[in-house]
Amino acid sequence: MNNYGQIPVVGGGAETGSQPLSPAPPFEPDFQHLLEFEEGPHQVVVALGGIPFLVRSNDAGVVGFFTSEYGPFQTEATPWVTLDLRRSAKFPFATDIARFLTARRGTVQHAKFRNMAATVDLKRAAARGWVTGDNLRQDLSNVLRFVVGSVTPSLGALLFHTAALAHDGRAYLFFGPSTAGKSTVVKLSEDREVMTDDMLIVREDQGRVVASTCGFWGGETRCYPSRRAEYPIAGFFRLVKDRTNRLIPMDASRGAFEIACNVPAVTRTSVENQAVLEVAARAAAATPSWFLHFHNRDASFWRCLDDLA
């Protein structure tokens, strides 16, 4: 006979309530042009979060961006995903894109935002993006975030919204909602290697759960050019601003929930959401998760983390 303990609840109070995954509003894609353009002659292969992408473009500047900003990410590996990019002075389709919009048609994802539009055919692992305007870094970064966020679940990986610092060959992932303190933790950790202040990829590699950079930055830390780094994960740390530093362990279910809640939302099928849950659950089972209550005045919270090691 099991202890009934708690009444059955959805969520479970302030600490275990349901959390939104930032759903994007739907829109009607008008991307025929995006599906029809020819593959460009310029190309490069880059491994984003350990996933090799073949990037092709009509524009030498686009590929130039990858060979410079993503120089450390270049690889000889066989590509898993193709990404065809077109750049032009303006879009050949309607744009009303103050907000990040996504739509789903079968196995194809669509998105547009500011000066970028993109589609991802998940069945073919093939993506297309169109950028315009002068801020190539911003627009290509938006394309990449969408494409990487779309393809990762089916590849057994997660794009994870987190700050990450490396220490003694392991990655410490600090995450939480906006204003939780991700950028603050990065700023307070000057003597540690900053992997990202925004997003990286969490995936399994030969039985380990690793954090692998994909060159995404939130903008506050300005750690350009991108760094390529991959480390086993020491722990997932959900940030809570407090007057004192302390660690409170999470059980595996709470850890998996917190991880799943910090995977940026794109429109997913139940199969893809299931893949998100599977990776999150395996990551939480293999790696400890904690609430890190920290004082945001100095780096003294690292003493708690060093004690773990």
Partner 1 sequence: MTSPSSNDPWLNRVPVQNQDVAWRMVDEECIIIVPETSQATVLNPVGARLWELSDGKRTVGQIVLALVDEYDVDPKVAEDDARDFMEQLAKRGLLSLTSL
What residues make contact with partner 1 under the rule CB under 8 A? 1-12, 16-23, 251-254, 256-257, 260-261, 265, 267-271, 273-274, 276-278, 280-281, 284-285
Nearer to partner 1, 6 or 244 (CB): 6
Nearer to partner 1, 30 or 278 (CB): 278
Write down the least CB distance from residue 9 to partner 1, Å. 6
Write down the least CB distance from residue 191 to partner 1, Å. 35
Write down the least CB distance from residue 149 to partner 1, Å. 12
Nearer to partner 1, 16 or 95 (CB): 16
Entry field: residues in the chain: 309
Q: Using CA atoms, how far apart are residues 263 and 151, in angstroms rounded to an integer?
A: 12
Counting Cα atoms < 13 Å in the Cβ hemisphere of 113 gives 21
Quick one: which of 198, 191, 223, 193 has its CA closest to 298?
191
Q: Using CA atoms, how far apart are residues 114 and 131, in angstroms rounded to an integer?
A: 9
Nearer to partner 1, 217 or 236 (CB): 236
Residue 206, Ramachandran bin (φ over 0: left; ψ between -120 and 50: alpha; else beta): left
DSSP string across 52-67? EEEEEES-HHHHHHHH
Write down the least CB distance from residue 100 to partner 1, Å. 13
Q: Using CA atoms, how far apart are residues 44 and 92, in angstroms rounded to an integer?
A: 26
- Return all residues near 144 (Cβ < 8 A) that are at least 6 apart: 48, 214, 215, 216
Nearer to partner 1, 63 or 261 (CB): 261
Write down the least CB distance from residue 255 to partner 1, Å. 8
Nearer to partner 1, 20 or 207 (CB): 20
Write down the least CB distance from residue 171 to partner 1, Å. 22
